[in-house]
Structure 1
Amino acid sequence: MEKLIQIILDNLSFSVWLKDVEGRFLIANKSLLSFFKVRKNNLIDKTVHNIFPSDIANVHYLEDLEVIKNKKPLKKIRKFKNAVLEIERIPIIDENGEVKFILGTLRDITIEKKYQDEIIKQKGILDTIINTIPDVIFYKDTESRYLGGNLSFKKTFLDRGITDIIGKNDVELHENKEQALAFMEKDKDIIKNKVEVFTKAKFLTSSGDIRYMESIKVPIVNEEGEAWGIVGVSRDVTNKMKMEEELIKLSCIDTLTGLYNRAYFEKEAVRLNQEQYLPLSIIMGDVNGLKIVNDTLGHLEGDEYLKTIASTIKAIFNGNTSIFRWGGDEVAILLPNIDEAEANNICKKIFKACKNYNYKPIPLSISLGTSSRYNLDKSINDMLKEAEDKVYRQKLVHSKSVRGSLIDSLQMTLAEKSEETEKHTMRLVENAITMGEYYNFTTAQLDELALLASLHDIGKIGIPETILNKPGKLTYEEMEIMKTHTEIGFRIAQASQDLAYIANQILTHHERWDGKGYPLGLSGNQIPINSRIISIIDSYDAMTNDRVYKKAISKEDSMKELRRCSGTQFDPEIVEVFIKNII
């Protein structure tokens, strides 16, 4: 039997030996003898101290003692020359629990260790790559228990104060149990059907923030075609979702007013075309005076006017109603579950809010019309037409008073920003009527001349105060800006039916008899007579009253100045009539 055991041991590819508790070799196979380069009779009954140098022998001796003391196997990896050795000692214990022998094995694992190191190296590279990826990467078993993941995966749970992850499933790790169960059901489908699954989910963080995640899970399938786990990749797409929401919002929002645009109105109209939103009302609005603001102060100021009206209307609803910019100066409001009476009350609130808003240079003003339906037989288009018809009727009825209010506001604003005082206007009107009577003007012609005297400088509303009230002489650039007041005044008058007939006279009241005036360079009788009269009256009043840029002069000096400019700046005939009848 002993010979058979020796034969078996000698045929093993690795070294084997047996020692007693005193450290003497009792058995050794050929592999061990070959490795130590000793004969069998030089090893059996010998200890390591008889074979190795004392430093090496002491190491082996102490390890033998450790095995005897602990009664447990001991495995060590040692380098020997260019080889890597695995040495294992196993205690042989008798029925009394005492160690009787030590069985030892020695294996050359150089090649195995080389492959193992390469695997570790490759794994290190792979781990580095995976951990560098900002996406969450994780692995699960068939029971949806987490087996591991990259740093981003661990951080996701660490941020929530969870450190014990491995071996647990989603239900154990997530506060939202319903959502966690849904994840696990998806996992079952992946394992069962061996298909990848793409999902989107919304999470609430511990700080109360909402985060959006996109995930793809893929089954791990072995050579037999069995799924034994899942690999998943999750990406935080919160910024992407916010950007998409912002793009959707931008596609639905009018960038100037912040109201919804007409394209979004069409979508909302379709959504509200259901009985649950009945009664449904629509308010249509048309902003009054926008053209005058655009023509007077420019389109930037017109944009501010439109934005102010939009924000005033929005404030009434506290952001709870869909308000749309329907066109250039039109708005539309969709009111689900609001009847006609309530819609009219809302219109009153809008009128009141605009009236109470102290907007300069003209008050906020809008014409409104409503339409309501109590069943789906009445289409949205029919409602829009009805509401628009009411808007136009309102504009027709109130247009005169609205225009009058706008012009009055412009005059008041001009008086506030310049020295165009009410007394100055009254003097001009009085002198203009006197001149008109001399020329036997009819009552209508006198009214026209008086209106021109009142509004000839209305265009100065669009000139900066720094230029209007400059105490010194204007620069060339400033003068060029000042000259535009005639064209601004012309556009204001053209925008009003009540003033359109004096628009050309406002435009030409700074033309000169010799053709060197502005803006058209007209001369002589090409200039309307009313413009010629106002030019002289206005110049006289400017000379005989203090202005910010110069002191008043006497009537005698003003007469000399008028005569000096007669035939060049002024109509010579009208100058003489004025001097004889006014001064």
Structure 2
Amino acid sequence: MEESLNGGPDHGLPLQYIMESLPEAFHIIDAEGVILYANPKCLELYEVRPEDIGKQSFFSYWAEENKRVHWFDNIMNGGRSDGFEMRLKNPSGKEIWTVASSITIQYQGQTCILSTVSDITEKKRLEADLKRNEEKYSLLTEFTADVIWVYNLWSERFTYLSPSYFELTGFTVEEGLANKLSTHVMQESYAATREFLEKSQNDFLEDPSAQKNCLMEVCLQCKDGNGIWVEISIKNRYNKDGEIETVGVSRNIEERKQAENEIRYLSYHDQLTGLFNRRFYEEELGKMKFQKNLPFALILCDINVIKLTNDAFGHMTGDDLLKRFADVLTGELRSGDVAARIGGDEFVLLLSKTDRTGAEKLAACIREGIERSNAENPDSPILSVSFGWAVKDNADERFEAIFLQAEERMYSQKLREGDARKKEMVQLVLQKLFARERWELVHSENVGRLSMAIGAAMGLEIAALEQLWALGRLHDIGKIGISEKILNKHEALSQEEWMEIRRHPEIGYQILRSVDKYAPIAEAVLSHHEWYDGSGYPRKLKGQEILLGARIVAVAEAYDKMVSGDSFSKPVSRAVAASELLAGSGTQFDPEIVELFLSEVIE
């Protein structure tokens, strides 16, 4: 049926007026694509001037020729096409998207195509933006190290898990979606996690608009049976079915938790021994429910001669004693017993539900462990410990009073055994020194005999002579703290090495002054390298400021070293040694002692 836009049946409004008033573009093209008619909306959309009607080809607008051919063939063969999307470019180069519904009609004596066209450019732009955003968020979701998940609170099932779930736990996404919450988290975290999710759901139901992101630390179950700590951040929402679901992010915090555990461990443990420290001990006392743990026993332990060990063998050896005792405690304590190092050489044991018999038995076991440790470490200093214990039998007794009882008993034992242990330590030091330097044994005995001989020539009493004998034997005990490499060096010593050698009088003094038997000679040991003229060491004393015993030993030691030789010099004759003593008289040596030694002792 052929009909003019300006003609046809009259139904109230001219047909052309209707077409030109449509809010959508409307055009008619012939079989060659030439635009034969376009309403004002179409002219605007295609940027066509009215005078170009009948000249402008609609086919030139298409950006995709293959789609144009497909569209044209569908219409010409089927008579119509509905909702076909066209990507067009108008003369100014602007890209526009349209959707057209088209039919064939007879117009101006030929078969033409009539189309109504809607501009969907903005819609396509929004769709493209949405797609880009979806791709971006998909990339974030698919490739982020954090696990993104969705959990339906009503069905109690996971409905989404990002691929990083596998990297985190070893479970595939499919396995994770099939697992219940109890399989996702370790047993110790399950109850807290359920409570956390339920609270967030209740808060959401109360006021969906007021909810905030919630954080919680959870230990996840891994496929290998181990746990891994994550921090979860969640927010609730309604899904399309009106059910509440939780959208969450799980972030691996295993390294952080390990660091926190290490910090917590260090804050409550002694770094050297691995036992609890004083801070833990005091906090544990504050939390202790004595009423439920009576009788409650306390054992105090104090390592004997630790300072002497440090002075004689160095702090590393002293530390080794502390660690050996900690190992003994660890091996002997029962489950539930608490051992803490509360001072340099002091330890405390807290024993719940332990009476006096139990405390004494445990102390005896610890002593046996100490003996085994000494037997297993024959080349190390002897580990010796003093004990004191007390028992709290009723809730009314103050813990401070119990502590004082244990402390008093410990110090009483320390007084009884302490000096004997110190003497043992001095003998051990001598044994080690003489084993390391065989000539030191002979030299020390020679110096002891010569010193006694000088004292006898002076008319000193027996007690003084005995002290001179001990002084002669112990004057170089401080060499135990000097490197064996330096003591055995045959070539000239460096300035630093000489400074090291010169420390031995001070080391010897520190070893001897804490032992009652040897305390009287400690000062002389410290001064036996002082020179009569004040140029010696370590304090540059002179003349009578130097103890008599030190002045005597200085002469005896110098003479024996010259006639016997040592690591640094070969022996000389007695005559040469005597002349050297005379040469040093009044400078290095006390002239009266030199004269007495040469005239009455060596003759």
Shift of 1:452: 0.8
| One-letter amino acid of the counterpart of residue 581, structure 2 | L
Cα deviation for residue 556 of structure 1 reads: 3.0
What displacement does 1:489 show? Answer: 1.7
- Structure 2: runs of 5 or more not aligned: 1-8, 28-38, 49-61, 104-114
SS, match of residue 544 in structure 1:
helix
Match status 1:328 vs 2:344:
yes
Distance 1:191 1:401 in 2: 75
Shift of the alpha carbon at 1:380?
3.2
1:330 is displaced (CA, Å) by 1.0
Deviates more, 1:395-404 or 1:437-446: 437-446
Q: Deviations over 1:71-127 (max 9, x none)?
A: xx996665475432346899xxxxxxxxxxxxx986542232122223333444555
1:404 paired with 2:459, answer: no
- Residue type matched to 1:213 in 2? V
Does the CA contact (< 8 Å) of 2:312 and 2:429 recur in 1? Answer: no
Q: CA deviation at 1:503?
A: 1.7
Aligned counterpart, 2:528: 509
C-alpha deviation, 1:145, in angstroms: 5.4
**Equivalent residue in structure 2 for 1:155, among 156, 164, 168:** 164
The structural deviation recorded for 1:311 is: 4.2
What percentage of aligned pairs have identical amino acids?
Answer: 26
Q: CA deviation at 1:271?
A: 3.7
Q: Do structure 1's residue 111 and structure 2's residue 130 form an aligned pair?
A: no
Which moves more between the two structures, 138-147 or 460-469?
138-147
CA contact (8 A) 1:357 1:363 kept: no
What SS does structure 1 have at the residue aligned with 2:386? strand
- Contact 2:145/2:164 (<8 A) preserved: no
Q: Please say if 1:219 is aligned against 2:219.
A: no
Aligned to 1:136: 147
Specify the alignment match of 1:255 in structure 2: 271
Identify the match of residue 447 of structure 2 among 422, 428, 440.
Answer: 428
| In the alignment, structure 1 residue 574 sits paired with structure 2 residue 593 | yes
Local SS of the residue matching 2:452? helix
Corresponding position of 2:6: none
Indicate conservation of the 8 Å contact 2:297/2:352, yes or no.
yes
Moved more, 306-315 or 237-246: 306-315
Alignment of 1:7-26 (within 5 A): none
One-letter amino acid of the structure 1 residue matched with residue 524 of structure 2: Q
What is the one-letter code of the residue matched to 2:70?
A: V
Structure 1 portions without partners, runs of 5+: 18-29, 38-51, 91-103
Question: Residues 473 and 86 of structure 1: is their aligned pair in 2 closer, same or farther, counting only changes over 3 Å?
Answer: same
Find the counterpart in structure 1 of residue 216 from structure 2: 199
Classify 1:16/1:496 alpha carbon distance in 2 versus 1 (closer, same or farther; 3 Å): same
Matches within 5 A, 1:274-423: 274-297=290-313, 299=315, 302-317=318-333, 321-338=337-354, 339-358=358-377, 362-423=381-442
Match of 2:247 among 231, 242, 267: 231
- SS across alignment from 1:231: strand
Partner of 2:34: none
User: 1:42 is matched with which residue?
Assistant: none
Letter in 2 for 1:497: D
SS at match of 2:564: coil
1:460 to 479, 482, 485: 479
Which residue, out of 83, 97, 100, partners 1:84?
A: 97
SS for the counterpart of 2:531 is coil
From the superposition, tell whether residues 413 and 227 of structure 1 become closer, same or farther in structure 2 (CA, over 3 Å): same
In structure 2, how many angstroms separate the alpha carbons of the residues matched to 1:337 and 1:252? 24
Post-superposition offset of 1:441: 1.8
Residue by residue over 1:143-183, the C-alpha shift from the partner in whole angstroms, topping out at 9 and shown as x without a partner, is 3555556xxx3311565343348987855974779668667
Question: Which one is further off, 159-168 or 337-346?
Answer: 159-168
Q: Is the 8 A contact 2:144 2:164 kept in 1?
A: no
Q: RMSD of aligned C-alpha atoms?
A: 4.5
Deviation of 1:500 (Å): 1.5
TM-score normalized by the length of structure 2? 0.74
Shift of 1:230: 3.7
Distance 1:440 1:176 in 2: 86
Following the alignment from structure 1 to structure 2, what is the Cα–Cα distance between the partners of residues 431 and 212? 75
Q: Which shows bigger deviation, 406-415 or 427-436?
A: 427-436
Q: For residues 526 and 448 of structure 1, what CA distance do their matches in structure 2 show?
A: 19
Work out whether residues 419 and 547 of structure 1, in 8 Å CA contact, stay in contact via their aligned partners in 2: no
For the structure 1 residues 315 and 544, does the alpha-carbon distance in structure 2 shift closer, same or farther, using more than 3 Å as the test?
farther
Q: Tell me whether 1:209 sits opposite 2:226 in the alignment.
A: yes
* Number of equivalenced pairs: 536
Change (3 A) 1:78 1:165: farther
How far apart are the structure 2 equivalents of 1:527 and 1:250? 49
Kindly provide the CA deviation profile for residues 465-521 of structure 1, in whole angstroms up to 9, marking residues without a partner as x.
122221133333322321221222222222222212112211222223333322333
How far residue 351 of structure 1 moved from its aligned partner, in angstroms, is 3.2
Cα separation, 1, equivalents of 2:266 and 2:584: 61
Q: How do 1:553-568 and structure 2 match up within 5 A?
A: 553-568=572-587
1:540-562 Cα offsets, whole Å, 9 max, x none, are 22122242223222233323333
Map of 1:40 onto structure 2: none
- Which deviates more, 200-209 or 126-135? 126-135
Cα distance change on mapping 1:442 and 1:317 into 2, 3 Å: same
Instruction: Tell me by how many angstroms 1:411 deviates.
Output: 1.0
Amino acid at match of 1:536: V
- Tell me what 1:273 maps to: 289
Q: CA separation in 2, counterparts of 1:446 and 1:239?
A: 69
| AA at the equivalent of 2:223 | S
Go from structure 1 to structure 2 and tell me whether the alpha carbon gap of 1:380 and 1:491 turns closer, same or farther (over 3 Å shift). Answer: same
Deviation digits for residues 399-433 of structure 1 (CA, Å, limit 9, x no counterpart): 22111101101111221233454333333333333
Kept in 2, the 8 Å contact 1:347–1:368? The answer is no
Residues of 2 paired with 1:62 and 1:166: CA distance?
51
Change (3 A) 1:552 1:215: same
Shift of 1:301: 5.1
User: Post-superposition shift, 1:297?
Assistant: 4.9
Q: Deviations over 1:197-248 (max 9, x none)?
A: 54332222123332223323323379xxx88644333333322222222222
Deviation at 1:278, TM superposition (A): 4.1
The equivalent of 2:498 in structure 1 is 479
Q: Counterpart amino acid of 1:234?
A: S
User: What TM-score, normalized to structure 1?
Assistant: 0.77
